[in-house]
Amino acid sequence: MPASTPKPLRLFTGIGSWLLTVAITLLGLAALTFFIGRVLPIDPVLAIVGEKALPETYERVYRELGLDQPMWVQFYDYVAKLLRGDFGISYATSRPVLTDLVNFFPATLELATIGLIIGVLLGIPMGVVSAYWHEKWPDHVIRVVGLIGYSVPIFWLGLVGLFVFYYLLDWVAGPGQLDVFYVGVVTRITGMILIDSALQGEWDIFGNAVRHMTLPALLIGYYSLAYISRMTRSVMLDQLSREYILTARLKGASEFQVVVGHALRNAAIPLVTVVALSYGGLLEGSVLVETIFAWPGIGNYIYSSLFAADMNAVLGGTLVVGIVFVFLNMLSDVLYRLLDPRSREFGR
Amino acid sequence: MSVETMDSKRALRAARLTELRRFARRFFRNPLGVVGLGIVVLLLAVAAFAPWIATHDPYLPTLSDRLAAPSAEYWFGADELGRDIYSRLVHGSRLTLLIVGLVIVTSAPIGLVIGAVSGNAGGWIDAVFMRVTDVFLAVPKLLLALAFVAALGPGIVNAALAITLTAWPPYARLARAEALTIRNSDYVNAIRLAGASEARIVFLHIIPICLSSVIVRMTFDMAGIILTAAGLGFIGLGAQPPLPEWGAMISTGRKFIFDQWWVATIPGAAIFIVSLGFNLLGDALRDLLDPHLRQRQ
């Protein structure tokens, strides 16, 4: 970009190209789900009319679905429908897929958010400790804890957790969001059980929900902790080797002041990106966790739709998580620019 | 002349050997890396000698021994059809390696070629390829693989295909970055002036430069591939019964988790150990091979 471009215009073209990137990525996402849903060897007509349909019926549905149109017309229709919020009808629940997704999304969001909070609260201090005592024993311990989180199949850890903490020790409640006799007592406001029960003052239900949520939230928290502590460690290692740290020490600042007040403060900007990105990962990672804990979220919805051969629902769920994913990516990008004065100064 | 080239070849070989020895010495100083290597070697050995290591037929049901607890007869117990879990685990290692192998031999070359061609060519080819790569990087991997297998139909090869679909973009990014830094370097321009084709530059000069970073990336990826494959198997989209795939074994054992815990926990422990092995190995290799880290030390 030439340096002579006036500043407001530069900002404008920056936003313009950024929006274009978002649009292209979303279009690409739609193209992927379109490809999976229409082009792969599964016959959408047979899914509706059944195996024994008359040829005329088959022919009519074939045309009604627009399958006789060229591929690009079909894709255009598909995108146009998506833009209108039409994700198709779920064969299993016979409701619009979007309605189903709106129903199931809050539970996933609640679980992933609490998991992320656990991950941040534990992961960042662990990363700082690890970087400060680089190559000493605290670093080794924390790195191994992180590596285990990277290597463990999360659905298996969930099963083991249920066996130990629910069956053997009875410290937490079993699968599901609430005990059976509490289900349906709280009126649905946000769809997030902790918030809904607290708003209505049903504190025993709140407590029950906490007991149900503890294990899956800790699992997801561990999963994000592994990533966050690792990234914090590498960012902090980089900061601690800079010269301004030496300057701060020479000035006589306390070690705590040097590490937290100077190094962590500077590390915070890249870490915001890390946290935003890991949030997207958690939404996806909760698919497997939700199936283990019978958690009524999007992951469980997709899982049960798979068994009903309900591709509209599967693809709709994939699309929604994908869209959230893309927006989180973009959000982390925006936050980075807002927080780091240097990236504002020089543009892209 | 020929004597000279033979001498220089010998010198080159000797230099490579010392380099390799120095590399090995540094590698063996890292205890975690050695543990990782040990696990990976053990996995390869178990897969290679599976029929001799297994104590039972992995497919033969013995209904009288349904869900038998671990014992001298069944080291890790028996599953819901009375099949020996230990023997199924041993044979399952071959399936794990099969999936990992299929994904790696497809995704790494695809990504490398796309990235190297794209970075070397520049212009609209680069713009298009990188947009496509970005789209794949921006979508949730596990869900994409899941939807893909759901449409294609379950099975090992389809699961591997689906994982490949989500695994190639990082290689493309990596290769493109390398290609961008060297495509206008003096030595590449010299080769170009000497009449080398662009294909020759991509395959003989850019891709080899990427190899050390690719090896590190691949080792880490293998852990991720094992976990994704196990997840697909657990959901029922990977290997189909009666194949002893570890993820699918957890899925059948899930029903018995409280009373016959060994059916589900033991295959999961195997997945965990193997993927930990690849992660430890990847960590150690990165410390040794990553040019950025090497500069800092």
Of the given ranges (A125-134, A190-199, B96-105), which has the lowest mean pLDDT? A190-199
- Residue A124's pLDDT band (cuts 50, 70, 90): very high
- Cis omega before residue B242 (within 30°)? yes
B219 CB-side CA count, 13 A: 23
Distance from CA of B54 to the nearest CA of A (A): 24
Which residues in chain B have their CB less than 8 angstroms from residue A42's CB? 151
Which residues in chain A have their CB less than 8 angstroms from residue B247's CB? 153
Distance from CA of A128 to the nearest CA of B (A): 19
pLDDT value of position A48 = 64
pLDDT value of position B46 = 92
Distance CA A152, CA A228 (A): 16
Amino acid identity for residue B92 in this structure: G
B214-B219-B220-B223 Cα dihedral, nearest 10 degrees: 140
Amino acid identity for residue A175 in this structure: P
Q: What is the pLDDT of residues B141-187, one digit of tens each?
A: 888 888 888 888 888 998 999 999 889 998 998 888 888 888 888 88
A 11-40 residues with CB below 8 A of B? 21, 24-25, 28-29, 31-33, 36-37, 40
Distance from CA of A156 to the nearest CA of B (A): 6
Q: Answer yes or no: do A306 and B135 touch at CB < 8 A.
A: no
A 266-285 residues with CB below 8 A of B? 280, 283-285
Q: Which residue of B has its CA nearest to A37?
A: B151
pLDDT value of position A261 = 87
The closest of A100, A14, A121, A19 to A310, measured between CA atoms, is A100
Amino acid identity for residue A186 in this structure: V
Q: Residue B214 to residues B135, B170, B197, B289: CA-CA distances in angstroms?
A: 21, 10, 24, 10
Is the ipTM beyond the 0.90 threshold?
no
Q: Which residue has the higher pLDDT, A8 or A298?
A: A298
Cβ-nearest to B257 among A25, A41, A163: A163
Token output for A101 = 């997704």
A 111-170 residues with CB below 8 A of B? 143-144, 147-148, 150-153, 155-157, 159-160, 162-163, 167
pLDDT value of position A1 = 40
For residue A6, is pLDDT > 60? no
Which residues in chain A have their CB less than 8 angstroms from residue B152's CB? 40-41
pLDDT value of position A42 = 59
DSSP labels for chain B? -HHHHHHHHHHHHHHHHHHHHHHHHHHHT-HHHHHHHHHHHHHHHHHHTHHHH-SS-TT---GGGTTPPS-SSSTT-B-TTS-BHHHHHHHHHHHHHHHHHHHHHHHHHHHHHHHHHHHHH-HHHHHHHHHHHHHHHHS-HHHHHHHHHHHH-SSHHHHHHHHHHHHSHHHHHHHHHHHHHHTTSHHHHHHHHTT--HHHIIIIIIHHHHHHHHHHHHHHHHHHHHHHHHHHHHHTSSSPTTS--HHHHHHHHGGGTTTSTHHHHHHHHHHHHHHHHHHHHHHHHHHHH-HHHHHH-
Q: What is the pLDDT of residues B243-289, one digit of tens each?
A: 899 999 998 888 888 888 888 899 999 999 999 999 999 888 887 87
Distance CA B183, CA A205 (A): 64
Q: Residue B112 to residues A310, B118, B159, B161: CA-CA distances in angstroms?
A: 36, 10, 22, 17
Picking from A91, A148, A159 by the largest number of B CB atoms within 10 A of its own CB, the best residue to mutate is A159
pLDDT value of position A18 = 77
Q: Answer yes or no: do A153 and B147 touch at CB < 8 A.
A: no
Q: Are A115 and A223 in contact (CB under 8 A)?
A: yes
Distance CA A324, CA A52 (A): 40
Contact pairs from chain A to chain B, CB under 8 Å: 141
For residue A347, is pLDDT > 50? no
Q: Answer yes or no: do B140 and A151 touch at CB < 8 A.
A: no
pLDDT value of position A2 = 44
Distance CA A120, CA B27 (A): 33
Q: Which residue of B has its CA nearest to A277?
A: B138
Q: Are B140 and A321 in contact (CB under 8 A)?
A: yes
Secondary structure of B22-70 in HEC code, one letter for each residue: HHHHHHHCCHHHHHHHHHHHHHHHHHHCHHHHCCCCCCCCCHHHCCCCC
Of the given ranges (A237-241, A323-327, B104-108), which has the lowest mean pLDDT? A323-327
Rounded to an integer, the average pLDDT of A118-135 is 92
pTM of the entire structure? 0.86
Distance CA A285, CA A281 (A): 6
Q: Answer yes or no: do A28 and B135 touch at CB < 8 A.
A: yes
pLDDT value of position A44 = 62
Distance CA B80, CA B67 (A): 5
Token output for A289 = 């966790």
Of the given ranges (A99-103, A141-145, B20-24, B38-42), which has the lowest mean pLDDT? B20-24
> How many C-beta atoms surround the C-beta of residue A219 within 10 A?
26
Q: What is the pLDDT of residues B113-132, one digit of tens each?
A: 999 899 888 888 888 888 88
Distance CA B244, CA A307 (A): 21
Distance CA B38, CA A319 (A): 41
Distance CA B150, CA A29 (A): 17
**What share of chain A in percent tops pLDDT 70?**
90
Of the given ranges (A139-143, B34-38, B107-111, B215-219), which has the lowest mean pLDDT? B215-219
Distance from CA of B196 to the nearest CA of A (A): 34
> How many C-beta atoms surround the C-beta of residue B218 within 10 A?
21
Amino acid identity for residue A158 in this structure: G
> Average pLDDT over chain A, rounded to whole?
83
pLDDT value of position A74 = 83
Q: Answer yes or no: do B143 and A322 touch at CB < 8 A.
A: yes
Q: Answer yes or no: do B142 and A153 touch at CB < 8 A.
A: no
pLDDT value of position A3 = 45
Partner A contacted by B180 (CB < 8 A): no
Q: Which residue of A has its CA nearest to B134?
A: A25
Rounded to an integer, the average pLDDT of A306-327 is 84
For residue A333, is pLDDT > 80? no
Q: What is the pLDDT of residues A206-224, one digit of tens each?
A: 888 888 999 999 999 998 9
> How many C-beta atoms surround the C-beta of residue B96 within 10 A?
26
Q: Answer yes or no: do B231 and A155 touch at CB < 8 A.
A: yes
- Residue A348's pLDDT band (cuts 50, 70, 90): very low
Cβ-nearest to B275 among A151, A159, A318: A151
Sequence-separated (6 or more) residues with CB below 8 Å from residue A92:
A304, A305, A308, A310, A313
Distance from CA of A120 to the nearest CA of B (A): 21
A 48-107 residues with CB below 8 A of B? none
Q: Answer yes or no: do A284 and B142 touch at CB < 8 A.
A: yes
For residue B106, is pLDDT > 90? yes
Q: Which residue of A has its CA nearest to B148?
A: A36
Q: Are A196 and A189 in contact (CB under 8 A)?
A: yes
Token output for B74 = 């069944």
B 136-155 residues with CB below 8 A of A? 136, 138-144, 146-148, 150-153
pLDDT value of position B217 = 84
Secondary structure of chain A in HEC code, one letter for each residue: CCCCCCHHHHHHHHHHHHHHHHHHHHHHHHHHHHHHHHHCCCCHHHHHHCCCCCHHHHHHHHHHCCCCCCHHHHHHHHHHHHHCCCCCECCCCCCEHHHHHHHHHHHHHHHHHHHHHHHHHHHHHHHHHHHHCCCCHHHHHHHHHHHHHHHCCHHHHHHHHHHHHHHHCCCCCCCCCCCHHHCCCCCCCCCCHHHHHHHCCCHHHHHHHHHHHHHHHHHHHHHHHHHHHHHHHHHHHHHHCCHHHHHHHHCCCCHHHHHHHHHHHHHHHHHHHHHHHHHHHHHHHHHHHHHHHCCCCHHHHHHHHHHCCCHHHHHHHHHHHHHHHHHHHHHHHHHHHHHCHHHHHHCC
Query: Which residue reads 């289900």 in tokens?
Result: A183
Q: Answer yes or no: do B265 and A163 touch at CB < 8 A.
A: yes
Q: What is the pLDDT of residues B51-72, one digit of tens each?
A: 888 888 888 888 887 887 888 8
Token output for B23 = 């590399």
B 193-252 residues with CB below 8 A of A? 223, 227, 230-231, 234-237, 247, 250
